[in-house]
Chain A
């Protein structure tokens, strides 16, 4: 297996140009969403979905009569423990040699279990054919030694691609620079391998609370507790069975 790769999205230098959205759709041959005019600042694609694998959020803020306009390009997190993959009954979702998570469209049967399993609302079923789609971290490009389309198109290096360990270091360095410069609310998101997701393959530098960008503040893998849940269920089942046995034995008396 190759070194684990991922994205570092530094939202502090995102200019909201949406080149990532367009490059992604162009490279992956995705259709338009044609959401129409939303009125949500300059966002007219709405959210990540089956045909939108990169999505730029626009957040207008006004505090103490000063204006701030946050922009952030969201993407699949390529989780360390990926619930979508774990719940997939067909094996359509798999972990690649780059330690990224990809759906094989020709294996997906459209059961849709993965959709509620994702704590980020990333993976989505296509309305057209019912199959699940999401960012592949440009699996086809990686195999040819190329940078993913979104990172390639980003003019300001807001989206950086590379070995995850290196990206984590870069993210920490950048955070420090910003904090020294007075950006007190700057923070990293998904960089901690000990968090509820075991760390993310797509890490972010945010300038505000994650909720502001539409990200869950403390994401936990939806399958993390499955094991203990099944154990508890098994214990309960065993106890019930024991009671029935005891009851029936007693009845015989």
Chain B
């Protein structure tokens, strides 16, 4: 669900097929019948953007049929924890949780906490100025401020225990509600519920796979939270065959989160320090690290990172150069940065491994931002749309802008392909694998590593001899990677070794993160990767065939952390440390030897007995009990209810997408996620949604997606002849019923219009687009693959030109997967007439009563 795995992860999907051959049942829940549905045992259609309602229906079923795996739930989750008396649910406040401030459109989450407890947000205050913080990408649990355990009721009867709060919260997610909201026949929902429950428990496990079909919503984080609740209630986390598998979008996108290209975290999910709150290392560590669990050692991870970056220059006396680390002054996420460009505050922009002109929501907004830059660097294989935006773009075609009026200086740097460079990939399941170089890159093409290293080298040469304090951060860096070959390519092995960590007193590589110290005696570029170069060996490059090792295959590549293949695997044994069943044995307590043993590296203190109870003054992992598997959480328990860490509520709630033709059937007065981030700018006009005047102008639901044949925004496929011919044109998928309603002819052209823009595509009339019955009427969905742009061997309009920017408030990801639109037969107008068409729709909306956006209004 939320994933089209067969099309977008065809290589990984071989294991799903393999599982089916061994008897696994595959369900595919999706707005479209895709190539994944074709292979599924059961396809279940769902209206785009109603995932919380559907998953909430499963939670409802589990709770109301007493199907939860209580032997797992009671000791391992916070089901029994008592929540503060101040907490009020959406069921009490008509769609809002307690703590809502209508002025700022934000929550104060204080009332969501456990009773008599102050639970700090995940490893600290993730964003500047927010006393409660915002959960960052990959946020990890919460911190019990004093380390004492919360109040529990293990009978689960207390009205304010999490289990009862869940029952109350999800009481109205009945099969009838799901049917009426999602358009899913109730029999189909029940079939899914029964299959999940029958295949969970001691003897069996079930897995949920998702991708951006879940994340790209204004409630994206909460959709995944709902999945977590299901998997925890059924006991499917930390066990073989279980889990929630986030299928990442392309090679090493997981790696670019672990060693981030994100603004709010440092390597290993350490929070980015804040300009106001963290003037010293001590302050930063103290405010961000809990007393209990493995995050309690955050100081060691941070100092080791600083030593990797600044080497000998980082000393105890100068706070290990903590002052050199950039500070957050607010939200610097992608779309906020775009606004900064439009408003002239951001002058330069690097585009690497992206094609935002095609691949990012609201292409017009992206291109407008780039037109306002002083300089732009694009690194890619070919001159993609984002490099050519100043002379080849929809706005040039319409005559809105002329190339001679655009002052942005564009530097195009040709990139080496994956066979022309070596290095590591980190894939979906945290597995690092090494890739060798096959051939030298052609001409001026170079690797990213070459580019960044030599860019840094040249900047340092320019700054050499500077006495300015501001230049110290660059000049003090350990920028000494050995280079090789005619192009002076930096040695990727040396970079991996630095990431993997070294004991500076012996010069030896560390075996894992446990020896990392906060006294400056260890250096490690990313604490969760510590040990990937243990014994001086590139562990990542291991390729021992599966048949020569155990079924877990620990010697194929290397998985973070500590080469552990399943996280929280202590949960694969019961509270006493025995396997849940012979069939599902994975890790267990060996009382004779006094240690955890099994198929994997224990995700637990290796010698902590199941009956261990912490003394009062315990700290770090020793402060958790021997039957608390979730060691990154400060209470050692998995959270069914999140007392901190999220900005839009401790439990998931069904809200309609930002743009939706339907009312919120649960909370009519709260249409969409109240805390969603909106960007109300002239460049980002929203379609009127249900309940707003003019909503009927955009009656259809649209959703964007990828096809197997192309890669994201097309840079790696539209220029490759053998791939380009496979899907040569932009097309729109519609049902026969919608085709009849709007006179769309299969194989001819159609135009899709929103308040942002209008695009055209060939008409693909297909029964694979189901027409759903929602709220007593039939809803049509329009499928928009987003691969095309104006350049390459095959060209076409970009779907993202009609997508607007409404964002999840936790992680600032846009709602690409559910928006509204209108459609009409025929090609879109050319030149200025295109603007006139969109203007006509805006005029109609204005006449209906939609107000013009004020130029700077942003929520929250």
A residues contacting B by CB (< 8 A) are: 13, 15-19, 21-22, 25-26, 31-37, 39, 41-42, 44-45, 60, 62, 67-71, 155-157, 177
Contact of A45 among B43, B726, B731, B762 (CB under 8 A): B726
Provide a sorted-by-A list of 7 A–B residue pairs whose CB atoms are within 8 angstroms: A19-B10, A21-B722, A22-B726, A39-B747, A39-B764, A156-B13, A156-B14
Q: Say yes or no: B38 contacts A69, CB within 8 Å.
A: yes
In the complex, A60 Cα to B33 Cα: how many Å?
10
Q: Say yes or no: B746 contacts A71, CB within 8 Å.
A: no
In the complex, A25 Cα to B766 Cα: how many Å?
29
Contact of A69 among B11, B33, B728, B762 (CB under 8 A): B33
Q: Say yes or no: B767 contacts A32, CB within 8 Å.
A: no
Given the known interface contacts A32-B722, A155-B13, A156-B17, the answer about A60 and B709 at a Cβ–Cβ threshold of 8 Å is no
In the complex, A13 Cα to B764 Cα: how many Å?
24
List 10 extra interface pairs beyond A32-B724, A39-B764, CB under 8 A. Answer: A15-B10, A19-B10, A21-B722, A32-B722, A34-B725, A37-B747, A44-B725, A71-B35, A71-B38, A157-B14
Chain A hits for B723, CB < 8 A: 22
Given the known interface contacts A67-B33, A67-B768, A156-B17, the answer about A25 and B731 at a Cβ–Cβ threshold of 8 Å is no
In the complex, A7 Cα to B794 Cα: how many Å?
33
Kindly state whether residue B6 has any CB partner on chain A within 8 Å.
yes
Interface residues of chain A: helix, strand, loop or mixed (majority) = loop
In the complex, A71 Cα to B729 Cα: how many Å?
21
Q: Say yes or no: A35 contacts B725, CB within 8 Å.
A: yes
Chain B hits for A70, CB < 8 A: 38
Q: Say yes or no: B35 contacts A69, CB within 8 Å.
A: yes
In the complex, A24 Cα to B707 Cα: how many Å?
20
Closest approach, in angstroms, between the C-beta of B632 and any C-beta of chain A? 34
In the complex, A35 Cα to B728 Cα: how many Å?
9
Q: Say yes or no: B11 contacts A32, CB within 8 Å.
A: no
Q: Say yes or no: A15 contacts B38, CB within 8 Å.
A: yes
Given the known interface contacts A21-B726, A69-B768, A156-B17, the answer about A39 and B762 at a Cβ–Cβ threshold of 8 Å is yes
Given the known interface contacts A44-B728, A155-B14, A156-B13, the answer about A26 and B767 at a Cβ–Cβ threshold of 8 Å is no
Chain B hits for A41, CB < 8 A: 766
In the complex, A120 Cα to B312 Cα: how many Å?
73
In the complex, A13 Cα to B15 Cα: how many Å?
12
Kindly state whether residue B7 has any CB partner on chain A within 8 Å.
yes
Q: Say yes or no: B17 contacts A157, CB within 8 Å.
A: yes
Closest approach, in angstroms, between the C-beta of B766 and any C-beta of chain A? 6
In the complex, A36 Cα to B730 Cα: how many Å?
11
Q: Say yes or no: A34 contacts B10, CB within 8 Å.
A: no
Contact of A18 among B43, B708, B731, B766 (CB under 8 A): B708
Chain A hits for B13, CB < 8 A: 15, 155-156
Contact of A62 among B14, B729, B767 (CB under 8 A): B767
Q: Which 5 A-B pairs have the closest CB atoms?
A: A39-B747, A69-B38, A37-B729, A15-B6, A17-B10
Closest approach, in angstroms, between the C-beta of B23 and any C-beta of chain A? 10
Q: Say yes or no: B746 contacts A18, CB within 8 Å.
A: no
Instruction: State which residues 685-742 of B face A: CB under 8 Å.
Output: 707-709, 721-729, 731
Q: Say yes or no: B33 contacts A18, CB within 8 Å.
A: no
Chain B hits for A177, CB < 8 A: 21
Kindly state whether residue B37 has any CB partner on chain A within 8 Å.
yes
In the complex, A238 Cα to B724 Cα: how many Å?
61
Chain A hits for B43, CB < 8 A: 67
Given the known interface contacts A22-B722, A156-B13, the answer about A39 and B746 at a Cβ–Cβ threshold of 8 Å is yes
In the complex, A77 Cα to B709 Cα: how many Å?
26
Kindly state whether residue B834 has any CB partner on chain A within 8 Å.
no
Closest approach, in angstroms, between the C-beta of B266 and any C-beta of chain A? 36
Contact of A26 among B709, B722, B731, B770 (CB under 8 A): B722
Chain B hits for A32, CB < 8 A: 721-722, 724-725
Q: Say yes or no: A155 contacts B729, CB within 8 Å.
A: no
In the complex, A71 Cα to B38 Cα: how many Å?
9
Kindly state whether residue B445 has any CB partner on chain A within 8 Å.
no
Chain A hits for B11, CB < 8 A: 155
- Whose C-beta in chain B lies nearest to the C-beta of A15? B6
Contact of A44 among B6, B7, B727 (CB under 8 A): B727
Chain A hits for B681, CB < 8 A: none
In the complex, A17 Cα to B10 Cα: how many Å?
7
In the complex, A22 Cα to B762 Cα: how many Å?
24
Closest approach, in angstroms, between the C-beta of A83 and any C-beta of chain B? 30
Q: Say yes or no: A36 contacts B729, CB within 8 Å.
A: yes
- Whose C-beta in chain A lies nearest to the C-beta of B764? A39
Kindly state whether residue B39 has any CB partner on chain A within 8 Å.
yes
- Whose C-beta in chain A lies nearest to the C-beta of B41? A181
Chain A hits for B768, CB < 8 A: 60, 67, 69
In the complex, A106 Cα to B143 Cα: how many Å?
75
Chain B hits for A21, CB < 8 A: 722, 726
Q: Say yes or no: B33 contacts A37, CB within 8 Å.
A: no
In the complex, A18 Cα to B708 Cα: how many Å?
8
Given the known interface contacts A16-B35, A157-B17, the answer about A33 and B708 at a Cβ–Cβ threshold of 8 Å is no
In the complex, A44 Cα to B723 Cα: how many Å?
11
Q: Say yes or no: B35 contacts A13, CB within 8 Å.
A: no
In the complex, A19 Cα to B723 Cα: how many Å?
9
Instruction: State which residues 537-563 of B face A: CB under 8 Å.
Output: none
- Whose C-beta in chain A lies nearest to the C-beta of B17? A156
Closest approach, in angstroms, between the C-beta of A54 and any C-beta of chain B? 12
Closest approach, in angstroms, between the C-beta of B20 and any C-beta of chain A? 8
Given the known interface contacts A17-B7, A18-B726, A32-B722, the answer about A37 and B731 at a Cβ–Cβ threshold of 8 Å is yes
Q: Say yes or no: A18 contacts B709, CB within 8 Å.
A: yes
Instruction: State which residues 758-788 of B face A: CB under 8 Å.
Output: 762, 764, 766-768, 770
Closest approach, in angstroms, between the C-beta of B231 and any C-beta of chain A? 26
Chain A hits for B724, CB < 8 A: 32
In the complex, A34 Cα to B17 Cα: how many Å?
32
Closest approach, in angstroms, between the C-beta of A100 and any C-beta of chain B? 24
Contact of A15 among B7, B33, B726 (CB under 8 A): B7
Instruction: State which residues 16-59 of B face A: CB under 8 Å.
Output: 17, 21, 33, 35-39, 43
Chain B hits for A44, CB < 8 A: 725-728
- Whose C-beta in chain A lies nearest to the C-beta of B769? A67
Closest approach, in angstroms, between the C-beta of B697 and any C-beta of chain A? 29
Which of B35, B725, B729, B768 gathers the greatest number of chain A CB atoms within 10 Å? B725
Contact of A13 among B39, B721, B729 (CB under 8 A): B39
Q: Say yes or no: A16 contacts B729, CB within 8 Å.
A: no
Contact of A37 among B21, B39, B722, B762 (CB under 8 A): B762
In the complex, A62 Cα to B38 Cα: how many Å?
12
- Whose C-beta in chain A lies nearest to the C-beta of B38? A69
Closest approach, in angstroms, between the C-beta of A172 and any C-beta of chain B? 16
In the complex, A25 Cα to B397 Cα: how many Å?
36
- Whose C-beta in chain A lies nearest to the C-beta of B709? A18
Closest approach, in angstroms, between the C-beta of B8 and any C-beta of chain A? 10
- Whose C-beta in chain A lies nearest to the C-beta of B16? A156
Contact of B767 among A16, A25, A60 (CB under 8 A): A60
- Whose C-beta in chain B lies nearest to the C-beta of A12? B39
Closest approach, in angstroms, between the C-beta of B46 and any C-beta of chain A? 14
In the complex, A15 Cα to B34 Cα: how many Å?
10
Q: Say yes or no: A34 contacts B38, CB within 8 Å.
A: no
In the complex, A69 Cα to B14 Cα: how many Å?
18
Given the known interface contacts A155-B11, A157-B17, the answer about A15 and B35 at a Cβ–Cβ threshold of 8 Å is yes
In the complex, A22 Cα to B766 Cα: how many Å?
26
Closest approach, in angstroms, between the C-beta of B718 and any C-beta of chain A? 13
Chain A hits for B762, CB < 8 A: 37, 39
Contact of A16 among B17, B38, B721 (CB under 8 A): B38
Chain B hits for A31, CB < 8 A: 721
In the complex, A81 Cα to B580 Cα: how many Å?
58
Q: Say yes or no: B708 contacts A17, CB within 8 Å.
A: yes
In the complex, A15 Cα to B11 Cα: how many Å?
10
Q: Say yes or no: A42 contacts B746, CB within 8 Å.
A: no
Chain B hits for A26, CB < 8 A: 722
In the complex, A169 Cα to B34 Cα: how many Å?
31
In the complex, A245 Cα to B747 Cα: how many Å?
67
- Whose C-beta in chain B lies nearest to the C-beta of A56? B726
In the complex, A155 Cα to B33 Cα: how many Å?
21
Q: Say yes or no: B708 contacts A16, CB within 8 Å.
A: yes
Which of B10, B724, B770 gathers the greatest number of chain A CB atoms within 10 Å? B10
